[in-house]
Structure 1
Amino acid sequence: MRFSQILLVFCLLLSSGNTWANTFSYHLEKLEEGVYAAIAQPGSRASSNAIIIEAGDVVVVAGAHFTAEALRDLISAVAMVTVNPIRYFVLCHHHRGFSHIDLDFPPNKDVIMSWQTYQALASEPRATRFPVVFFDQGLTLKLGGRTIILTNMERGHSEGDTVVYLPESGILFTSDLFYNKGAGYLGDGHMQDWILALEFLERLRPEKIVPGYGPVAKRSDLTDFKNYLRAFVSEILFLIEKGHSLTETKKKFSLPRYEDLAGFKQFRDVNIERAYHDLKENVVGSP
């Protein structure tokens, strides 16, 4: 037996457990046969989680915030769990102005995304050099006996967030609509729509949830994040209704129950700014 075959057998034997080997950027966790959470590792080249789905003799990979280096690590991670090729990438969202991410997919692989995500990507100075498939409200893939439902949640964390749902097993990938055990980045968010999106995802009653960041979660974790976001938004609204400026709101804002959440202090000011402007424009009705 050649060395490469021995190595492949060794890797496949390792994959029988619930947790899997690490690449530099991702730690793999087996959710069920053929489905793996790729958890971004702190300090690595990945800043957001992904999901790997085997569907017959092909693979679907979904996620966001893909630097060229993180993509290489993720593709290597796929090769650690299956010999099957990647057929589709799903880009769950893109933040305008970040031309160093999400534009380095292999030129021979289709990348699926919402039409809003495509518009955001097309606005970058770098051109897309890979095939793009974009959709409006939703897209269902039937591959190798597996059903993969892609839903455009529209405005939430971004202009057009896509979630991935496997109905047979109840596995949900939310991308950055949900941060598990963390405050998250609200910088492009639409607060009311985001909370409504989380309520919709709760009603799916998923069995396992792969968040945009943090460990694999259960429904109660999703509810915890929704409650945090609602409390954050309520505090901003309270201060707006008191007539406070953005500067005053930053000084007076207080949410002691959630101050120990990962990223709360790091993103505090930018999250307040985004929530303040979004709520002033869309709820209070003044710029």
Structure 2
Amino acid sequence: MSAKPFASSGDLADKEQTLEVLADGVYALTAEGDPNVGAVEGEDFLVCFEALATPTAAREWLARLREHTDKPVKYLVLSHYHAVRVLGASAFDAEVVIAHDNTRALIAERGKQDWESEFARMPRLAKDAASVPGLTWPTLTFSDRLTIDLGGDRGDLELRYCGRGHTEGDIVAWLPQQRILFAGDLVEAEAALYTGDAFHREWATSTLDAVRALSAEALVGGRGAVSRGTDAVHAAIDQTRHFLEVMIQEVGAVQQRGGTLKEAFEATHAALVGTYGRWPIFEHCLPFDVARLWDELSGVERPVIWTAERDRGVWDLLQG
């Protein structure tokens, strides 16, 4: 049996992008399990949510958006620090780049290593990698909540920190008037979770509880289709929670009986593959997910930095 291609290095097929208008001036671009992005119109400006992996990729998204609005981008909101979400930022010419306080600290601590790691894992997303001018740095950060007045009768856009989850700096963008939530990678809709930098137990409990409490009627997750309607929103949140709970149960059980990391991966894979194995990036993510959870349950509070070398070592051990 041949070894599986490393992470998503073998996934080179283009994905079909779909631009959806969720409400007046509220846009989402989804792409068959690739990272989602969005935008919200203010009275005379735009707020963009997520930046994609490179300026070239971001400019393609902006060209689609310009078919609907020519307002300038005043705010660029970054849900967290991962390279495929932030390194396209220079294309937006935003006046203000917003992220959580913890995200800025993570960029300083591990942004360079993450850049190298993610572009090796997902080369197709790194479209024209040479167009990236350097690390993306927020110009405005916050700890709990930040509100943007959209002007006129458009209401507010609330940026909220719901707790540690996918990383220790994830934020969501909430439109209370339209009841639309951009959840970043705290929620996925029929796409596997990447948890290599996660705080699984907090994410599966208090963080997702805070997301659910918003009672959104439409949700744009980090990957997958837009969830429309309360039932679909709850289903996406519940699926995310279930994925985490199964991982915690399986890895914890192997640790408690004195098993190995490899055994924990095999048990978790067996428990999840029937439900989630057909979803985008499942095989890619799971080795890194289990490695981080193994550390977390062993008492390693903060995720170990992923380098290209560490990526390959974990992959060869668990998926080789």
Match of 2:271 among 255, 270, 274: 255
**2:55, 2:136 → 1: CA distance?**
13
Higher helix share: 2
CA distance in 2, matches of 1:281, 1:103: 35
**Is the CA contact 1:106–1:130 (under 8 Å) kept in the aligned structure 2?**
no
How far apart are 1:266 and its partner, in Å?
Answer: 2.7
Tell me, yes or no, if the aligned pair for 2:51 and 2:89 is still in contact at 8 Å.
Answer: no
Q: Please tell me whether residue 95 in structure 1 is matched to residue 82 in structure 2.
A: yes
Tell me how far apart the structure 1 counterparts of residues 241 and 300 of structure 2 sit (CA, whole Å): 20
Equivalent runs, 1:183-198 vs 2, <5 Å = 183-195=192-204, 196-198=206-208
Q: Aligned partner of 2:47: which letter?
A: V
Distance 2:55 2:165 in 1: 26
C-alpha change, 1:200 and 1:94, in structure 2 (3 Å) is same
Greater strand proportion: 1
Return the match for 2:107 from 118, 121, 142.
121
The 8 Å contact of residues 174 and 212 in structure 1, kept in 2 or not, is answered as yes
2:261 is equivalent to residue 246 of structure 1: yes
Structure 1 stretches lacking a partner, 5+ long? 1-23
1:201 offset after TM fit, Å? 1.0
How far did 1:100 drift? 8.4
Identical-residue share of aligned pairs (%): 27
Higher alpha-carbon deviation: 118-127 or 204-213: 118-127
Relative to structure 1, the CA distance from residue 174 to residue 129 in structure 2 (aligned partners, 3 Å threshold; closer, same or farther) is closer
Q: Identify which of 101, 104, 110 aligns with 2:90.
A: 104
Query: Where do residues 64-103 of structure 1 align in structure 2 (5 Å cutoff)?
Result: 65-95=52-82, 101-102=87-88
Q: CA deviation at 1:29?
A: 0.6
- Is 1:39 paired with 2:43? no
Instruction: Write out per-residue CA displacement over residues 16-72 of structure 1, whole angstroms, 9 at most, x where no aligned residue.
Output: xxxxxxxx8742111111101111356xxxx41112101111110112543222211
User: Is 1:155–1:161's contact at 8 Å kept on the other side of the alignment?
Assistant: yes
TM-score, with structure 2 as normaliser: 0.72
User: Which residues of 2 match residues 216-255 of structure 1 at below 5 A?
Assistant: 216-217=226-227, 218-253=233-268, 254-255=270-271
Which letter maps to 1:273?
A
TM-score normalised per structure 1:
0.80
Q: Distance between the aligned counterparts of 2:16 and 2:156, measured in 1?
A: 28
Q: Shift of residue 151 of structure 1?
A: 0.7
Q: Which residue in 1 is equivalent to 2:313? A: none
SS in 1 for 2:193: coil
Is 1:177 the equivalent of 2:186? yes
Q: What amino acid is aligned across from residue 35 of structure 1 in structure 2?
A: V
CA offset at residue 223 of structure 1?
1.4
2:21 pairs with one of 23, 27, 30: 30
Match of 2:128 in 1: none
Q: Quick one: distance in 1 between partners of 2:156 and 2:79?
A: 18
Q: Which has the larger radius of gyration?
A: 1
**Alignment pair present for 1:63 and 2:50:** yes
Gaps of 5+ in 2: 1-14, 113-132, 228-232, 302-320
Aligned length: 255
Per the alignment, residue 161 of structure 1 pairs with: 170
**Structure 1 pair 234–131 and aligned structure 2 pair: CA distance change class (3 A):** closer
Greater mean alpha carbon deviation, residues 155-164 or residues 120-129: 120-129
More off after superposition, 249-258 vs 153-162: 249-258
Candidates 135, 141, 156, aligned match of 1:134: 141
What secondary structure is seen at the aligned counterpart in 1 of 2:64?
helix
State the shift of 1:127 in Å. Answer: 5.5
Structure with higher RCO (Cα < 8 A, 6+ apart): 2
Structure 2 contact 97–137 (Cα < 8 Å) conserved: yes
Q: CA RMSD in A?
A: 2.6
C-alpha change, 1:130 and 1:179, in structure 2 (3 Å) is: closer
